[in-house]
Amino acid sequence: MFNPNTKFLVVDDFATMRKVVKKVLTELGYSDIHEAEDGKAAFQLIQDAANGGSPFQCIVSDWNMPNMTGLELLKACKADAKFKDTPFMLVTAESEKEQIIEAAKAGVSEYVVKPFNAATLKEKLGRVYAKHNGAKAA
């Protein structure tokens, strides 16, 4: 599982959902949790963090947001060599099969459909960690 010092970025245009995700992450033992309210703000934070020598180690993002959607943010990260391997979860109300396929094609690490419970998010985080650390070991 991600170590307790993992630096997270939570992205959602609704403050309520940012609070919910942050609450679950905190209960799982994480404390270095940052927030952004849309993909554009998030991408700026991602770039700034990397340039400052303290990159984000896991991004948890909504899909449907103004200015830059979560899918666009995912694609922007994948297009940048500095961020393409950063674990990226979509946590979204969008649950149509075509959308899940689109996100998978864009390289999402895991897809969580809202509403979700703490156990589901924990399980998905575990899978993301295993996926990325298995890839690193290989």
Query: Using the rule CB under 8 A, is 133 a contact of other proteins?
Result: no
Nearest of 4, 3, 8, 14 to residue 115 by alpha carbon: 14
Closest to other proteins by CB, 24 or 128: 24
d(CA 122, CA 69): 24
- Considering only residues 6-25, where is the footprint of other proteins by CB under 8 A? 13-17, 19-20, 23
Site for other proteins (CB under 8 A): how many residues? 19
Could you give the string, one character per residue 75-94, with x where binding to other proteins holds by CB under 8 A and - elsewhere? -----------------xxx
**Smallest distance from other proteins to CB 92, Å:** 7
Residues engaged in binding other proteins (CB under 8 A): 13-17, 19-20, 23, 64-66, 92-96, 113-115
